[in-house]
Amino acid sequence: MNHLNAVIKSIETEENISLVLVEAAGLPFSTLVIDTPTTAAYLKEGNVVVMVFKETSMSISKDLAGGLSIRNRFPGVVTAIKGGGVLTSVSLDCNGIKLTAVITTHAAKELTIQVGDMIEGLVKINDISLMQKE
């Protein structure tokens, strides 16, 4: 599981769902929360929270060009690659934060990812959860 400390920057609520904009590692990120500031006390601008997402929820991009609807982008440097027959684990450093993506080995080979490469980790808005920081 990937964990990043983040600060809530803004919250937009409609019915029982909130679009929460946070900042982590000096970068903006978005997540959807099935809660509101009225039902979850931790949802307040300025609060520190923990962003959490699975390694399998992160896709990898190398030399991305063109438009893309995914707003959660983690630019970083590949620090390690552990390949297997089916899955490959790619570790990256995003502004000092260590993250891991698990992608298919076929995709890793097709992208020709190597240690030291600049890549972007991509995570859809609904794959990131927020937890109250204790």
Residue 88 and residue 104 in contact, taking contact as beta carbons nearer than 8 Å: yes
Torsion over CA: 52, 58, 63, 67 (sign): negative
Please give the domain boundaries of the chain with CATH numbers for all domains.
2-132 (2.40.50.100)
**pTM (predicted TM-score):** 0.90
| Per-residue pLDDT tens digits of the chain, which is 134 residues long | 999 999 999 999 999 999 999 999 899 999 999 999 999 999 999 999 999 999 999 999 998 887 888 889 999 999 999 999 999 999 999 999 999 999 999 999 999 999 999 999 999 999 999 998 87
DSSP string, 43-76: --TT-EEEEEE-GGG-EEESS--S--S--EEEEE
59 C-beta neighbours (distance < 10 Å), count: 15
- pLDDT confidence of residue 2: 95
